Structure 1
């Protein structure tokens, strides 16, 4: 397969409950980025896999047509189709994989499977407006991958040479945010609501203990339990405790989580001597976490912090398409019988 100068790659993302399709070109410009949200899951308090899969089947053709139209191209101009291979919910993943395989066979173009976590990390290489390539992080760099399903510190040596330095031993940071938010009565997804109510809160009003975890690994189950016990104890004395202290509680929890993440990254920098750090994943859109990292960057001239645009932080197809483009440039393709996987595999 010969790499074309005017490459156009379409990306399909169906790992969870968002049906997303994006088109990118050789210059790493996003020509279109369509996301159809499945709002029905809110009433169930979380994503229902079977329902998500059925809705992907319903929305995917529409999303693809919208993406191609918005990109102002026709389908015959597409040089490769990339799709989320895993990890994620297996039903939704299979819907995206089946469509991508049919699309590949129908147009006789290469098929490119993409690791969802790797795509989050490589979203940093989407072109940012008129900025040139020097804005991209230089290899090697560290990536703090924080989402609803993953919490990892990754050493990125090249586009497709990555090493996990630390990972969560139990809950992901995004899962911890959502479960704590549920204690406050917030509906799914609770993380963004917790952030919203923290804006006018005193982040030093309540002190929660930090988990003692060796090395670069994380743990959030203990923090979650501590918050639950604290709320139960206070609510016994005052049934309106949460209601009366909601903003302060949200702000205090955000602060402690941001500090946990930052302390681990500081250790990773000390261990590796690498001062370039990117954030990735849906939780990297959290303003309090961003603030903690940018404050430290101002204090340390060696530090370089790379923050993704919020529309590319949460699940989206632009990150799948850009990863597909990078693989296309290196002639890394997949056979038609490539299998989707639900659990995280090594990069």
Structure 2
């Protein structure tokens, strides 16, 4: 009986996280087993946000050391190297990306193993194919499926028909949701390295009475609430009509809203809590509103174009997908009769795999290597902007011959 087993080293450094992982592709039909993964993050709290040059220097001093620690832990070296290397090629900050791509090239040459340059957002999209401890009985999504990819750098709703066939249904017209949450939290006086997470924790610590009170206060106009704070969903103002046909996300206005309020008002602690609560609620409500609008335009209802016919799975991944409030809003407000009158099955990756990690890069690289039979030429360079619907338009793809695939797979004959 034939047995396939090979070890994959994966590297990720597209932003401020230095990540490395080892995966065991033990089966041709099952997702890989996670052997181990390490992660270290640049502390940018005192910098007011991520500074590209500081992130580059951090990765240059971290990624190789982190990789060495992981390899030593699992007794992997030049005499017993991994069989495949996967590294994030883009999108991301060029300096951050280059720190791991150049390191990966060197390892590929030294060990004589193939290298796959991976699309960062494809990695996020495919995390739902790994087993989920919070949803242990839930299998992987089936194509076609929808993905809400939400992070500090990207926010988009993607329709995926195959590994390489992705259509961006909704994109942002300004900043990403994670960036908006971070900036709003900073303006409200929160401090930390992951301000979106700090905002969530801040709100979670409110008393049930505070949450109930804040939830019932109308913020349509200043006269309708004692805090004189107003906030509205983007694209639902009168100039956009009743439903707002612009199928885009927009998150910059939430920061502008807080900045405008601070110019005219002093913020005490109770007001700060109220603004934080309402801002997070409206940011996520905006996402739900736009997604439901896409269902009306593309679902299986009368007057739609039927683009979503057959979709039964919905994936939410990326750093912001770790937010429990967002998960609850999606689960409670996207189910219904908008797609084939059946409820959607929601897939939420484990929290550790929502934020940037190397496991997802290894998984995506394995899929590209095995199903597309592709690897990346060693002359490739990082791609700062790389639309997920142009996955194979990037230069440097090389067809992998069966001989190399068999060598990586380490096909052996096992006697019963």
TM-score of the two chains, using structure 1 as the length reference: 0.90
Whole-angstrom CA distance in 1 between matches of 2:384 and 2:161? 25
Match of 1:10 in 2: 9
Moved over 4 A (4+): 69-75, 129-134, 297-301
| Corresponding position of 1:120 | 124
**What does 1:249-260 align with in structure 2 at a 5 Å threshold?**
249-260=275-286
List alignment gaps of at least 5 residues for structure 2.
26-30, 220-230, 236-243, 299-307, 392-416
Using the TM superposition, give the Cα deviation of residue 71 of structure 1 relative to its aligned residue in structure 2, in angstroms: 4.9
Cα distance per residue 1:19-50 (max 9 Å; x no partner): 100111214211111101222x2111111222
Matched residue SS, 1:158: coil
Residue number among 41, 53, 74 corresponding to 2:56 in the alignment: 53
Structure 2 partner of 1:336: 378
Alpha carbons of structure 1 residues 157 and 285: separation in structure 2 relative to 1, 3 Å? same
**Cα distance per residue 1:151-176 (max 9 Å; x no partner):** 11100111222111110001111111
| 1:218 to 2:249 alignment | yes
CA RMSD of aligned residues (A): 2.4
Deviation at 1:328, TM superposition (A): 2.0
Distance, in Å, in 2 between the alignment partners of 1:129 and 1:31 is: 16
1:204: how far off? 4.1
Report if the CA contact (8 A) 1:206-1:252 is conserved: no
Return closer, same or farther for 1:85/1:266 CA change in 2, 3 Å cut-off: same
- Consecutive unaligned residues in structure 1, runs of 5 or more: none
Match of 1:230 among 261, 271, 295: 261
Q: In structure 2, which of residues 63, 67, 70 is the aligned counterpart of residue 67 of structure 1?
A: 70
In 2, Cα distance between equivalents of 1:150 and 1:338: 23
| Structure possessing the higher radius of gyration over alpha carbons | 2
Give CA deviations for 1:235-293 in whole Å, capped at 9, x if unaligned: 2xxx3x24222222222111111111112222333412324211011111111101112
Change (3 A) 1:149 1:204: farther
Deviation at 1:132, TM superposition (A): 8.2
Q: Aligned equivalents of 1:247 and 1:74: distance in 2? A: 52
Alignment correspondent of 2:144: 140
Q: How does 1:1-347 map to 2 (within 5 A)?
A: 5-26=4-25, 27-39=31-43, 41-71=44-74, 73=76, 76-128=80-132, 135-187=139-191, 188-199=193-204, 200=206, 201=211, 202-205=214-217, 207=219, 208-212=231-235, 214-233=245-264, 235=265, 239=266, 241-270=267-296, 271=298, 272-273=308-309, 274-296=311-333, 302-330=343-371, 331-345=373-387, 346-347=390-391
Q: Would you say the 8 A contact 1:178–1:191 is kept in 2?
A: yes
Query: Number of residues paired by the alignment?
Result: 339
Q: Cα deviation per residue 1:177-201 (whole Å; 9 max; x = unaligned)?
A: 1111121112353211111121223
Deviates more, 1:153-162 or 1:187-196: 187-196
Report which stretch shifted further, 322-331 or 299-308.
Answer: 299-308
CA displacement, residues 76-132 of structure 1 (integer Å, 9 cap, x when unaligned): 341110101011111111111100000111111111001111111111122335988
Taking structure 2 as the reference length, what is the TM-score of the superposition? 0.76
Contact 1:86 1:116 in 2 (8 A): yes
Structure 2 vs 1, CA of residues 303 and 131 (structure 1 numbering), >3 Å: closer, same or farther? Answer: closer
